């Protein structure tokens, strides 16, 4: 058994909150630069240039890329040989609280979705997804999720008869309907299969992959490419003002499903595609 102190987890989460909000990922930057070269729309090019310039300002001045510094979504991969000294959930809550306070990040969480809607004041609670994996390390991935994209996400319980064409059309229609709202160029996370909640989880988890990376299964990777090309033919463009760069990437995750179903979920990450990980 390897011991990891809860305090170490808190400090790691604090740092992730700040870095994920200040530093545009190298993967995102690279894809945005590539998109800038290929963009036909003058307004679109101007938007992409502004986003790249903004990333530089944020990184240099240690300020958030976006004012929506998100609800903290935390993915844990806990090695089965790890023993945590202290309360894991509390350690993460504390990390989010400190990170958002010390990092001058916006507190965007309300205590109840319907009744009251009082800001909790410290951006807690985060949403924590835990997976037990072999090994003796702890991987923490933090996704500060903005809700411009979150609000445009969708899930559909499709049936086998809908086929691949049905899957493609549902994804494309969801992106088309979202238009400018999720702050394109977006990263489109897609979860196919499993059950209602599994598909949604996979769509979110797909956003954690390096932007532009491909699924290891060749037919899924080809579908990602094909959908990216189709999405960039929708005309939405950077910020929805018209152009070819509507998405930087499409990431698909799949899971076996029931003989009678084919769930499909679509989750958006905005142009900053924020996510940051650390292994303890």
Binding site for other proteins (CB under 8 A): 40-43, 46-47, 50-51, 53-54, 57-58, 61, 63-69, 104-108, 119, 148, 151, 165, 168-169, 172-173, 176, 179-181, 183, 230, 233-237, 239-244, 270-272
- Closer CB to other proteins, residue 65 or residue 91? 65
- Closer CB to other proteins, residue 58 or residue 71? 58
Q: Which two tokens stand for residue 233?
A: 């033919």
Q: Which two tokens stand for residue 52?
A: 């790249």
- Closer CB to other proteins, residue 62 or residue 258? 62
**Closest CB 232 distance from other proteins, rounded Å:** 9
**Closest CB 195 distance from other proteins, rounded Å:** 26
Dihedrals φ, ψ of 5, to 5°?
-75, 140
- Quote the CA–CA distance of 229 and 206 in Å, as a whole number: 18
**Closest CB 103 distance from other proteins, rounded Å:** 9
Give 51-118 as a DSSP string. Answer: HHHHHHHHHHHT--SSS---EEEEEEEEETTEEEES-HHHHHHHHHHHHHHHTT-----BS-SSS---
- Closer CB to other proteins, residue 92 or residue 171? 171
**Closest CB 248 distance from other proteins, rounded Å:** 12
- Quote the CA–CA distance of 180 and 125 in Å, as a whole number: 29
- Closer CB to other proteins, residue 169 or residue 261? 169
Q: Which two tokens stand for residue 30?
A: 């690279």
The Cβ-side half-sphere exposure at 191, using a 13 Å CA radius, reads 26
**Closest CB 94 distance from other proteins, rounded Å:** 19
């Amino acid at each position: 058994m390897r011991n990891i102190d809860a305090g170490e987890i808190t400090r790691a989460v604090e740092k992730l909150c700040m870095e994920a909000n200040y530093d545009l990922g190298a993967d995102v930057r690279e894809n945005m630069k590539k998109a800038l070269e290929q963009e036909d729309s003058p307004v679109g090019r101007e938007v992409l240039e502004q986003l790249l310039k903004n990333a530089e300002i944020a990184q240099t001045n240690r300020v958030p890329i976006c004012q929506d510094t998100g609800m903290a979504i935390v993915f844990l991969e806990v090695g089965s040989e790890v023993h945590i000294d202290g309360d894991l959930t509390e350690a993460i809550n504390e990390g989010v609280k400190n990170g958002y306070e010390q990092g001058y990040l916006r507190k965007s969480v309300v205590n109840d979705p319907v009744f009251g809607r009082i800001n909790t004041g410290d951006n807690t609670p985060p949403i924590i997804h835990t997976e037990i994996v072999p090994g003796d390390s702890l991987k923490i991935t933090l996704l500060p999720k903005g809700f411009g994209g979150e609000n445009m996400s969708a899930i559909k319980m499709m049936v086998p008869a809908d086929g691949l064409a049905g899957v493609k059309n549902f994804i494309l229609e969801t992106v088309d309907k979202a238009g400018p709202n999720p702050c394109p160029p977006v990263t489109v996370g897609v979860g196919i299969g499993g059950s209602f909640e599994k598909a949604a989880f996979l769509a979110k988890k797909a956003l954690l992959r390096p932007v532009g990376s491909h699924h290891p299964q060749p037919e899924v990777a080809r579908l990602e490419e094909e959908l990216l090309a189709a999405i960039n033919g929708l005309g939405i463009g950077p910020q929805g003002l018209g152009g070819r760069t509507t998405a930087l990437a499409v990431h698909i995750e799949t899971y076996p499903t029931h003989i009678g179903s084919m769930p499909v979920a679509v989750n958006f990450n905005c142009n900053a595609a924020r996510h940051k990980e650390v292994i303890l």
